[in-house]
């Protein structure tokens, strides 16, 4: 099965690229500038979230107090809420987006929901176990949160980078069509 996927992956990508080039620019679905801007904002916020959750994960290797964890969790919660607001805007604009933009929104949503759920669980665990921040149970919450936020930042970055590359490709393609 893996051999088939290894062979089909590049071939499928090549066929899609050839098919894409063969489609006139006027027929291709246009990217939504609004969604591109929202994704860029989400990327910046996701990077902040990942950085702050990484800082908190580094706390697990120190003797920092539960109050420091609480302060960092407040910041993280703020980032998650901000990303939730951006996701709401993305979902409102989704119908106007190109297929890849719609896919991006659909892929971001469950990961952000998982981060929100994990952040809530981490806050609850901290509130219920303030004297146990140096035990593995709490440290596992923190570590998983950092992994999830890093995954989200990477996912959004990849979509934003893809959109930028696609727009450059479109620009080059339109220059060739004029000649």
Task: State pLDDT tens for residues 132-148.
Answer: 988 999 999 999 999 99
- Domains of the chain, with CATH numbers? 30-178 (1.20.120.230)
Contact indicator for 91, 101 with CB cutoff of 8 Å = no
DSSP for residue 97: S
Q: How many CA atoms lie within 13 A of 54 on its CB side?
A: 10
Task: State pLDDT tens for residues 46-94.
Answer: 999 999 999 999 999 999 999 999 999 999 999 999 999 999 999 999 9
Report the pLDDT averaged over residues 9-18.
48
């Amino acid at each position: 099965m893996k051999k088939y996927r290894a062979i089909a992956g590049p071939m499928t990508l090549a066929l899609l690229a050839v098919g894409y080039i063969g489609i006139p620019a006027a027929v291709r679905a246009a990217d939504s500038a609004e969604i591109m801007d929202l994704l860029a904002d989400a990327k910046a916020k996701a990077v902040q979230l990942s950085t702050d959750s990484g800082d908190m994960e580094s706390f697990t290797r120190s003797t920092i107090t539960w109050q420091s964890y609480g302060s960092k969790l407040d910041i993280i919660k703020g980032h998650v809420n901000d990303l939730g607001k951006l996701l709401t805007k993305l979902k409102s604009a989704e119908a106007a987006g190109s297929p890849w933009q719609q896919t991006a929104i659909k892929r971001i949503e469950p990961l952000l929901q998982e981060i929100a759920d994990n952040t809530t669980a981490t806050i609850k665990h901290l509130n219920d176990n303030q004297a146990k921040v140096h035990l593995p149970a709490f440290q596992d919450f923190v570590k998983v949160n950092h992994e999830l936020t890093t995954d989200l930042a990477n996912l959004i970055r990849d979509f934003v980078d893809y959109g930028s590359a696609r727009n450059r490709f479109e620009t080059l393609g339109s220059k060739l069509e004029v000649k």
